[in-house]
Structure 1
């Protein structure tokens, strides 16, 4: 049992997942500090909601009215900005740390059109891990999807093989039927020819008999 716990710990330690949400107004800026080692991949999922009085809840706004500005700054290098992106109100963002140290990840809701000082809710989820480990995790998901596609493909191939077998059986039955019909026709022709030959032979025999008896 202890071995299994240690094994699970080693599996899940490379990944750190954390989720946050905070309320504010259009134009507010919120920053998070993350300690990242070199070659660490930071994956962020975010979703901006704007308060809708009719729904009495936060809803995803139009990208024509709102957006998200994402900044990444290197705190260890005098807050040197390394990323500045303007994104849609909802989406994903990835950042690969080229140096070890503390990074500041900032989100700022951007009001594109004048819609008043509306309440906002920003949901953010961080997933931190080694780039190769996160890629491996994605590959496992792809393998699972490929496995399902492979099963469906094999079923389709099996149905096609069954259809092909049915067609081959139909073709074989048709060939046998045509062969039997052809043989039956030739057998009738042969019988007619034999009957004609027998009649001719009998006529000659009778004629010869009549000549011998001097009847003719």
Structure 2
């Protein structure tokens, strides 16, 4: 029994350490009526992402004011729409990102007179941490050790994918640097050629001028 507890504790420590590699964005921000607040998240292709938001009640124990409503839209860098809710106080969304890039969650508060300011709690998760492991355990009726093994496998797989993603980004940056250096070299050569040509023309013009004036 003691050995099993130690193994479970070891798995929990490893999973916790590995999960620190993945991005979690849980923020609280103020939104003034008539204004828009956008938050972006860089998501890999085919990665799972989950978002949850709600407006904080300024008067705890009382109904939320009617003015405290927002319109929420989540779009990709290509303009595709993945979530839209109009005049809501809370909501959730989840989807597998079909394309890689920056995804944008925008919150818009309708204009009110007098102007009001509301506080929004927003939680956005991507990758392994976006999965609901509690439901996995309930649906599968598996033991704790099997759940930890599955979490660990998915975490390692995600780290593996992340490494390849970073390697691809590094190769793109190296290609961009080489291309930029090549263009700068050609630009420098062209600038030098122009300067030498202008200097030659100036010398020729001065020589012609002095010859006409019979100074040389």
Query: TM-score when scaled to structure 2?
Result: 0.48
Q: Which has the higher strand share?
A: 1
Query: TM-score when scaled to structure 1?
Result: 0.48
